[in-house]
Amino acid sequence: MQIAAKDVQVDYSAADGTLFRALGPVTMTVESGTFVALLGPSGCGKSTLIRALAGLEPVSGGELRIDGRGINGPSVKVGVMFQDANLMPWRTVSQNVALPLELRHADLEKRAVAVKRVLEPLGLAEFGDVYPGQLSGGMAQRVALGRVLVQEPEVLLLDEPFGALDALNREKISLDLLRIWAQRRQTVLMVTHDVNEAVLLSDRVFVMSQRPGHIIADIPVDLERPRSPEMIYEASFVAIAREVRSAIDTA
Ligand SMILES: Nc1ncnc2c1ncn2[C@@H]1O[C@H](COP(=O)(O)OP(=O)(O)OP(=O)(O)O)[C@@H](O)[C@H]1O
């Protein structure tokens, strides 16, 4: 499913009634089945764009389309994940992951199969009966990712999903995400502040300007897949990362 934005703007009204432009105009296309990273200065509107694509925020101008259709609200085809895992502490890992299916009234057997299929590749197979309070931050984010993947979305909107994790955990979970993505080839738009993470994971990197953000650079990442962490030392990787950094410097 392709993601497309044309001249998209989002305005908020300030307390004094004046309009405050948080985003745009943004024009971009994320082709079906590709992985795109989105970087930009703090407050430039990255989360606003993610929320609008997720159907959680109306746009004030322009057009957003997913798979050629306008966005009227959240869709099961579009999974969204934020920096905070937001798990329900009174539900086990399996019950947290199963929640979207429960809300759709999927039958119990289907739920169990779907949850198992998601827990395994996330390294959570042994943790189904554990409660969130017993999980590390990295494990909690894995559960949150599982809760998104269990709906088998065709689009993944990831807003700094690993931003609060330490470097080692962050690398591990992002490589697991890459492996999962390689099998299902969802269309991914992922916000990150980490240039190496952006280049390691994605097919293209979009860089946004200061608020109100628009896309100032669209940098292709022509590195072979599967990717491995050692690639960050290769000359071709370093050159792309440098290009991304210099785009950020001009933002
Ligand atoms: N609901 C809201 N009402 C008013 N202003 C908002 C609202 N949400 C965000 N903003 C403002 O809109 C601008 C863009 O915010 P947004 O969170 O999209 O930026 P961001 O690029 O994701 O930032 P960061 O990298 O720090 O997470 C900011 O100035 C923010 O303060």
Give which of 108, 58, 99, 52 is closest to 80, Cα–Cα.
52
pLDDT the model gives residue 16: 87
130 and 45 part of one domain = no
Confidence of residue 17 (pLDDT cuts 50, 70, 90): confident
Is the Cβ atom of 42 under 6 angstroms away from ligand 1?
yes
- Biggest distance spanned by C-alpha atoms of the chain: 54
Gap from CA of 207 to ligand 1 centroid (Å): 16
163 and 224 part of one domain = yes
Q: Which residue has the tokens 């990197």?
A: 205
CATH code of the domain covering residue 226: 3.40.50.300
CA gap 124, 140 in Å, rounded: 10
- Residue 119 resides in a domain: yes
95 and 218 part of one domain = no
- Protein residue with its CA nearest to atom 20 in ligand 1: 43
What CA–CA distances, in Å, run from 139 to 123, 170, 175, 190, 237? 9, 11, 14, 19, 29
Residue 45 has pLDDT above 90, yes or no: yes
- Protein residue with its CA nearest to atom 28 in ligand 1: 43
96 and 196 part of one domain = no
216 and 125 part of one domain = no
210 and 101 part of one domain = no
Is the Cβ atom of 12 under 6 angstroms away from ligand 1?
yes
- Residue 148 resides in a domain: no
Look at residues 99, 123, 143 and tell me which one is the last residue of a structural domain: 143
- Protein residue with its CA nearest to atom 18 in ligand 1: 45
71 and 173 part of one domain = yes
- Protein residue with its CA nearest to atom 17 in ligand 1: 47
Average pLDDT rounded to a whole number, residues 31-37 = 98
Look at residues 123, 143, 163 and tell me which one is the last residue of a structural domain: 143
176 and 209 part of one domain = yes
- Protein residue with its CA nearest to atom 12 in ligand 1: 22
Is the Cβ atom of 48 under 6 angstroms away from ligand 1?
yes
- Residue 166 resides in a domain: yes
pLDDT the model gives residue 14: 84
| pTM score | 0.95
pLDDT the model gives residue 243: 98
118 and 240 part of one domain = no
183 and 242 part of one domain = yes
Query: pLDDT for 188-214, tens place per residue?
Result: 999 999 999 999 999 999 999 999 999
158 and 239 part of one domain = yes
Q: How far apart are the first and last CA of the chain?
A: 29
Is the Cβ atom of 101 under 6 angstroms away from ligand 1?
no
- Residue 116 resides in a domain: yes
Chain centroid to Cα 149, Å, comes to 12
What's the 3-state SS for 58-127? CCCEEEEEECCEECCCCCCCEEEECCCCCCCCCCCHHHHHHHHHHHCCCCHHHHHHHHHHHHCCCCCHHH
70 and 165 part of one domain = yes
How many Cβ atoms sit within 10 Å of the Cβ of residue 64? 19
Query: pLDDT for 149-189, tens place per residue?
Result: 999 999 999 999 998 899 889 999 999 999 999 999 999 99
Two tokens, residue 14? 């300030």
Is the Cβ atom of 13 under 6 angstroms away from ligand 1?
no
| Sign, Cα dihedral of 76, 113, 170, 206 | negative
Ligand 1 nearest-atom number relative to CA 48: 18
Residue 34 has pLDDT above 90, yes or no: yes
- Residue 82 resides in a domain: no
* Overall domain count for the chain: 2
Query: pLDDT for 88-147, tens place per residue?
Result: 999 999 999 999 999 888 888 888 999 999 999 999 999 999 999 999 999 999 999 999
Q: Residue 113: which domain range?
A: 87-143
pLDDT the model gives residue 182: 95
